[in-house]
Chains A and B, each alone.
Chain A
Amino acid sequence: MRELTRSTAVRLAFGYAVLFIISTLLLTGFLWWRTALYLDREIDAVIIADAQAISDRLRDFGLPGAIETINERVGRASDEHAIYLLVDPTLTPIAGNLQAWPLEVGSAPGWHDINLERDGRLHVTRALFGLLPGGYRLLVGRDVQDRVEVRALIVDSLIWASVGASILAVLGGILLRRAILSRLETINRTASAIVQGDLTRRVPTQGSSDEFDQLAHTINAMLGQIERLVEGVRNASNVVAHDLRTPLAELRTRLEALLRTQPSKQVTYDEIQKAISDIDRIVNVFNALLRLAEIDSGVRRAGFRDVDLSVVATELTELYEPLAEDKGIIMNIDVPRAIRVHGDPNLLAQAIGNLVENAIKYTPAGGTVSLRIAVDHADQAEIVISDNGPGIADADKSRVIERFYRGNRGSDAEGIGLGLSVVEAIARLHGGTLSLNDNCPGLVAILTLPRVINANRPHD
């Protein structure tokens, strides 16, 4: 029971029912007031007017005048419900359509609701008893049996309507509760499944885009983000363990051998030098992780400004050209001026730099690496870096962007498998995307970023 009162759905349904009943009662009360009570007041007014007319005649023309008026009114067939009786002080009827003074009225002047026999049955009659000068008594009334019956009918209907409305309200409440609960229950079930560890579950939507569907969409978007983050963390910790174990094992072996063999000074120095390189590799992994964490956290957005991509690209080209030259690779550059984005120039340089570096790394001597910046059909800035190296197998394209995945792109090329993850994270930070396509042969990496169109002037 307590569970029931705690349930928001039950409280909502209950509140709904109460509100419904109250509004029904208000409505019926109003109807009652406007119909039954109005009729009653109307009859009273007619009776008073009648009595007033008769007593006026009595005053102006004496008893015969009053009798004449009563007879005239009784004789008028227009109102068969009207009742008149004038009696003398001994209660002997003088005029009117009643045979005798009704016992129920007694001797108290004023309003009386009495039962008079008519057509063989008792009719409720509303009557006004007035004392006239000389001890005469006047009784004026109306047979209200019909109206009483109508009133009873109205009351009955109102009561039944209220009962019906209450039942409907309760039913509605129950239905409302069930509807809410069933929608909530699906969300609840999904959440419980996720708590159990099944992060792939999503809240089903009904396609009605109502509030619950909107909530479901929001929750699903949140779950997607959480899943991606958890997956990233899971992969990261797996791969960190693997990636670090190798250099650590090498380092350990190296130092152990050094301790065991105690070689000449020169060999020792060389070994220590190599040990430091091993450690540098480990530190690089951590640096890349920290960098990713920093990018993912979004704090770098604080330093965003207008950046001219052509300036960034030109400077990077100038940085990497000698390296390409050394490897016998031709670099093609096609960078129009004044394509601007809102972002962090250093991160953008790193993203484009990583892609150029990868392209140079994986392209064999005599190959070509090209860097092109353009505006795509959706009016976004597009940075296209293509090479004619071995490319990436279709199955691996989405995986290489995942943290730490090391694609099978030639065995001599070293890398810590974080380069493309960093590029992707930077793209995402800037509201853009990274996509990898086939260059047949080779790889085309496309970095798409939202363009600043009506900027006044870039800051650099």
Chain B
Amino acid sequence: MKILLVEDNERVAGFLVKGLREGGHTVDHADNGRDGLFLASSETYDTIIMDRILPGGIEGLAIVEALRKTGNKTPILILSALGEVDDRIRGLRAGGDDYLAKPFAFGELVARLDALVRRARDVGPETDLVVGDLRMDPLSHTVTRAGKPIQLQPREFRLLEFLMRHAGQVVTRTMLLENVWDYHFDPQTNVIDSHVSKLRRKIDSGFNAPLLHTVRGAGYKLATNA
């Protein structure tokens, strides 16, 4: 992936650039708003990571708004120390696609970037989703594994659908809570784990190869191989 990082904090930027390059991505870095806007509008990126408070006279959200006004649809992840819900809403309203508060786990950032890019490329719910021998038809709400139908509750269906749309990627618990349940607060208990293990019992038990994997310290991954 070709990623633009607009971030003025040297240490955070250095750490992100290094991590993303090690993950096989191409990264351009701008350390102020002016350069950021210039790069974002002159080059083509798969995704942009945008800090909110920037030097150079142009603030992060202003860049996002400027890009959206010119019809630029590059998925943008907004990064900020201002982690409250109100800021999140403002960020998304300005045209950002996702919002991550500092401090964040690198894994969370990568998972969200993957999800953003996937979402941008996705054509929608028309086609069947397939992972190994697991198959979902989003239109008729049916799920089968190795041809055997699996009965799912509506929420379990949405959970599985989200996991299947992000098959092969790590999906964090926060992402699940936000996207499947639409809650923007952190429960103190591992309430998501209960849902995932319930789902796992339905799609994995009785089959040889498990599809739903727990990624330690990060979240979950739906894939044919761990």
A interface list, Cβ under 8 A from B: 273, 276, 279, 283-284, 287, 290-291, 294, 299-300, 315, 318-320, 322-323, 325-326, 346, 349-350, 353-354, 357, 360-361, 414-416, 419
Rounded to whole angstroms, the CA-CA distance of A49 and B194 in the bound complex is: 121
CB contact between B186 and one of A276, A284, A322, A360 (< 8 Å): that residue: A284
Complexed CA–CA distance, A326 and B189 (Å): 12
Task: Answer whether residue B38 sits at the interface, using C-beta atoms and an 8 A cutoff.
Answer: no
**Which residues 154-176 of B have a CB within 8 angstroms of A?**
155
Alpha-carbon distance A294/B194, docked complex (angstroms): 30
The majority secondary structure among interface residues of chain B is loop
Q: What's the Cα separation between A354 and B188 when bound, in Å?
A: 8
Q: Contact: A353 with B155, CB < 8 Å?
A: no
Give every chain B residue within 8 A of A320 (Cβ-Cβ). Answer: 191
Q: How far is the CB of A412 from chain B (nearest CB, A)?
A: 13
Option from B155, B185, B186, B194 in Cβ contact (under 8 Å) with A326? B194
Question: When the two chains form their complex, are residues B185 and A346 in contact, meaning their CB atoms are under 8 A apart?
Answer: yes
Inter-chain CA distance A109–B32, complex, in Å, is 109
The winner among A315, A323, A419 for most chain B CB atoms within 10 A is A323
Question: In the complex, A452→B155 CA distance in Å?
Answer: 29
Q: What's the Cα separation between A361 and B184 when bound, in Å?
A: 21
Distance of B152 from chain A, by nearest CB (Å): 13
Interchain Cβ contacts under 8 Å between A and B, 6 examples: A284-B186, A291-B185, A294-B86, A300-B85, A322-B198, A325-B194
In contact, B84 and A290 (Cβ under 8 angstroms): yes
Cβ proximity bits B49-69 to A, threshold 8 Å, 1 near / 0 not: 000000000000000000000
Question: A318 and B188: CB pair below 8 A?
Answer: no
Nearest CB on A from B159, distance (A): 11
Instruction: Report if B216 contacts A (CB, 8 A).
Output: yes
Q: Are B188 and A419 touching (Cβ within 8 A)?
A: yes
Instruction: Assess the A273–B217 pair: CB atoms within 8 A.
Output: yes
Q: Check B86–A273 contact: CB distance below 8 A.
A: no
Residue-wise interface mask of B (76-107) relative to A, using a CB-CB cutoff of 8 A (1 in contact, 0 not): 00000001111000000000000000010100
User: A414 CA to B216 CA in the complex, in Å?
Assistant: 21
Q: Cα distance A276–B218 when bound, in Å?
A: 11
Contact A318:B189 (CB < 8 A) given known A299-B86, A325-B194: no
Contact flags B170-214 to A (C-beta < 8 A → 1, else 0): 000000000001011111111100110110000000000000000
Q: How far is the CA of A287 from the CA of B84 in the complex (A)?
A: 8
Which residues on A sit within 8 Å (CB–CB) of B189? 323, 357, 360-361
A460 to B97, CA, bound (A): 23
Complex-state Cα separation, A414 to B198, whole angstroms:
24
B190 CB to nearest A CB, Å: 8
Cβ of A430 to closest chain B Cβ, rounded Å: 16
For the complex formed, measure the closest distance between the CB of A250 and the CB atoms of chain B, giving whole angstroms.
17
| Chain B contact residues, CB within 8 Å of chain A | 83-86, 103, 105, 155, 181, 183-191, 194-195, 197-198, 216-217
Which of chain A's residues has its CB closest to B102's CB? A283
**Bound-state Cα–Cα, A283 to B103, Å:** 8
CA distance A284 to B183 in the complex (A): 17
Task: Say whether B84 contacts A294, CB under 8 Å.
Answer: yes
Complex contacts, B187 vs chain A, CB 8 Å: 353, 357
Q: Give me 16 other A-B pairs in contact (C-beta within 8 A), A315-B181, A326-B197 excluded.
A: A273-B216, A279-B103, A284-B186, A287-B83, A300-B86, A319-B191, A320-B191, A322-B191, A323-B189, A323-B194, A353-B187, A354-B188, A357-B189, A357-B191, A360-B189, A415-B188
Q: Is the CB of B181 within 8 A of A276?
A: no
Nearest-neighbor residue (CB-CB) of B85 within chain A = A346
Set of chain A residues within 8 Å of B85, measured between Cβ atoms: 294, 300, 346
Bound form: Cα–Cα A318–B85 in Å: 23
Q: Name the distance in Å between B193's Cβ and chain A's nearest Cβ.
A: 8
B83 CB contacts on chain A under 8 angstroms: 287, 290
Q: Is B186 a contact partner of A287 (Cβ separation < 8 A)?
A: yes
> In the complex, which residues of chain A have a beta carbon less than 8 angstroms from the beta carbon of B186?
284, 287
Give A318 to B157 CA distance when docked, in angstroms: 14
When chains A and B are docked, how far (Å) is the Cα of A320 from the Cα of B191? 6
The docked-state distance in angstroms from the alpha carbon of A415 to that of B184 is: 19
Chain B residues with CB under 8 Å of A287's CB are 83, 186
Chain A residues closer than 8 Å to B184, beta-carbon distance: 346
Instruction: Using A294-B86, A326-B194, A357-B189 as known contacts, say yes or no to A319 and B183 having CB atoms under 8 A apart.
Output: yes
Q: Which of B181, B194, B217 contacts A322 (CB 8 A)?
A: B194
- Which of chain B's residues have a CB closer than 8 A to the CB of A415? 188
A167 to B188, CA, bound (A): 76
Chain A min CB distance to B180 (Å) = 10
A284 to B188, CA, bound (A): 9
